[in-house]
Structure 1
Amino acid sequence: MKTKKTLLIITTLVCLLPMLIAAFVYQELPAQIATHWGADGTPNGYSSKAFACFGLPALMAGLNIFLNIVLDNDPKRKNVNNRILIVSKWCIPVVSLVVSTLTLAFALGYKVSISRITPAMVGVLLIALGNYLPKCKQNYTVGIKLPWTLNSEENWNRTHHLSGYLFILAGIVMTVTAFIPSAAFLTLPFILIAAFIPMIYSFVLFKKGI
């Protein structure tokens, strides 16, 4: 229990760390800050300085707390591989810290390619999750949670072995194409494949009585 609380506190503080960074440079920031970018790296969405500096980190911290509560109160939590649990709990803090810091740097005039760095980071996270998905046993919060995967251990295991490979493949494609703009069109198809093929596969297994 103490370890859970410690990790919750640490990850939440990491989510909020961009607030401290923003406080030091607040006076130098423009009134409107770019918070969304197109595939070509051009800003196409803006937020107020206050929201970008303090609202977004606070929102990420709230999501982090909610995720930790859900993961720690799963009735089948013991079935979740400890490493994938830790990776899951660090996803939001890492994204919050990196994206918020890059957003502030961009607002200050530094040349940072958020449209490349962010997808690459998400790709690495997909690779990490894909590596551990096959080791994840039945639970209610992590994995491909469908009626037929939760009803059959064999269905769950087969589906997650497949999804593990597809997550890794999608992660590799996303990471590579982040630095090859001409190949960016490949990202969405592979993400959709990783998301929907395991669901279809698990349903096919279910119809076969597995």
Structure 2
Amino acid sequence: MKTKGLLIASLVVAVLMAGFAVLTAQRLPPGTMLPTHWNAAGQPDNFAPALKALLMPPAIAAGLGVFFSIIPRIEPLQDRLEQSSALFRTAWLGVLGVMIVVQLAIGLPGWGVTLPVNAIILAIGVMFIVLGNALPKSRPGFFVGIRTPWTLTDTDVWIATHRLGGKLMMLAGLAIVIASLLPIQPQNTAIVVLVSVGIAALIPTVYSWWLWHQKKARGELSPQDKATRG
């Protein structure tokens, strides 16, 4: 799978983010500390010098871009990764988008604009919705998708699990988006996020185990190596 274009785009975005970081830091008084983490109440609980705080998101964006570009080079199941390209690219762009929002949340106050921390939650919710839509299109592989012992050893279990997982991930994303927009306490927003993500992760895992054992009881399991065949 070709990733050169996405890697170049990611690095260009990271450079632009770094430029924004430098310009913003120059506008701030010497010794200014900016938030780098927020607690469940939506209050900053960790700070760093302005330039360091502002350069963290572009550094992470660049690092993740390089990481994503390496995956196709080390994935043994190249044909399956190609079939999962929609999910792979969506995850890459989704993480990059979240990093941009984090950068803006940290840096815009230096320009007199305040971006609420809920904007980050909103971005994560949107990413979940988009990822959930792409999830059923994936095929067994070692780096992309819901990788349990039961999905990796039976293609039919993989497909069924990802159909369910995609729906649950979209619902989780929708719940997170709604929570980020409602005038509720940040602690309650955090609870919605944790519960939604937990459900979207746990149910498909249990379902893959249950479905695999149902197929085993009926003698319908695919050969162990089916997940590795094109």
Equivalent position of 2:13 in the other structure: 14
CA contact (8 A) 1:18 1:101 kept: no
Residue 43 of structure 1 corresponds to 44
Say whether the 8 Å CA contact 1:15–1:94 is kept in structure 2.
no
Which residue in the other structure is 1:26 paired with? 25
CA 1:4–1:67 in structure 2 vs 1: closer, same or farther (change >3 Å)? Answer: closer
2:100 alignment partner in structure 1 = 97
- Is 2:175–2:196's contact at 8 Å kept on the other side of the alignment? yes
Judged with a 3 Å threshold, the aligned counterparts in structure 2 of structure 1 residues 127 and 55 are, in CA distance, closer, same or farther, namely: closer
1:191 matched to 2:193? The reply is no
Separation in structure 1 between the aligned mates of residue 115 and residue 134 of structure 2, nearest angstrom:
31
Q: Is the 8 A contact 2:7 2:66 kept in 1?
A: yes
The aligned length equals 208
Indicate the SS of the match to 2:151.
Answer: helix
Q: TM-score, normalised by structure 2?
A: 0.82
Normalised TM-score (structure 1): 0.89
Cα pair 2:124 2:173 within 8 Å, conserved = yes
- The share of aligned pairs that are identical, in percent, is 31
Note the C-alpha offset of 1:145: 0.7
1:102-142 Cα deviation digits (max 9, x unpaired): 211134542220x2111111111111111111121111111
2:174 is aligned to 172
Moved more, 81-90 or 127-136: 81-90
> Contact conserved, 2:161 with 2:208, CA < 8 A, in 1?
yes
- Measure the CA separation in 1 of the matches of 2:4 and 2:103: 24
Per the alignment, residue 82 of structure 1 pairs with 85
Distance 1:71 1:47, change over 3 A: farther
Question: 1:53 matched to which residue of 2?
Answer: 54
Q: 1:25 to 1:143 in 2, by over 3 A?
A: same
Query: Quick one: which of 193, 201, 205 aligns to 2:207?
Result: 201
- Structure 1 residue ranges without an equivalent (≥5): none
AA of the residue aligned to 1:207: H
CA contact (8 A) 1:16 1:58 kept: no
Give the conservation status (yes or no) of the 8 Å contact 1:33–1:107: no
Structure 1, residues 185-205: CA drift from partner, whole Å, max 9, x if none?
333212100011101111112
* Equivalent-residue separation in structure 2 for 1:67 and 1:129 (angstroms): 16
1:123 — aligned with what?
Answer: 125
- Note if contact 1:167-1:194 (Cα within 8 Å) is conserved in structure 2: yes
Distance apart, 1:150 and its partner CA: 0.7
Q: Matched residues in 1 for 2:110 and 2:78: separation?
A: 41
Deviates more, 1:72-81 or 1:92-101: 72-81
Unaligned 5+ segments in structure 2 are 222-230
4+ long deviations beyond 6 Å: none
Aligned-pair Cα RMSD in Å: 2.0
Query: Using a 3 Å threshold, how does the CA distance of structure 1 residues 127 and 71 change in structure 2: closer, same or farther?
Result: farther
- When Rg is computed on C-alpha atoms for both structures, the one with the higher figure is 2
Out of 41-50 and 148-157, give the one that drifted further.
41-50
Q: Distance in 2 between matches of 1:173 and 1:77?
A: 35
**Rounded Cα–Cα distance in structure 2 between residues aligned with 1:26 and 1:206:** 54
In structure 2, what is the Cα distance between the partners aligned to 1:171 and 1:138? 23
Whether the 8 Å CA contact 2:90–2:134 is kept in 1: the answer is: no
Q: Is the 8 A contact 1:37 1:45 kept in 2?
A: yes
Q: Residue 53 and residue 105 in structure 1: after superposition, are their counterparts in 2 closer, same or farther (change >3 A)?
A: same
Aligned equivalents of 1:40, 1:180: Cα separation in 2: 15
State the Cα distance separating 1:63 from its structure 2 match: 2.1
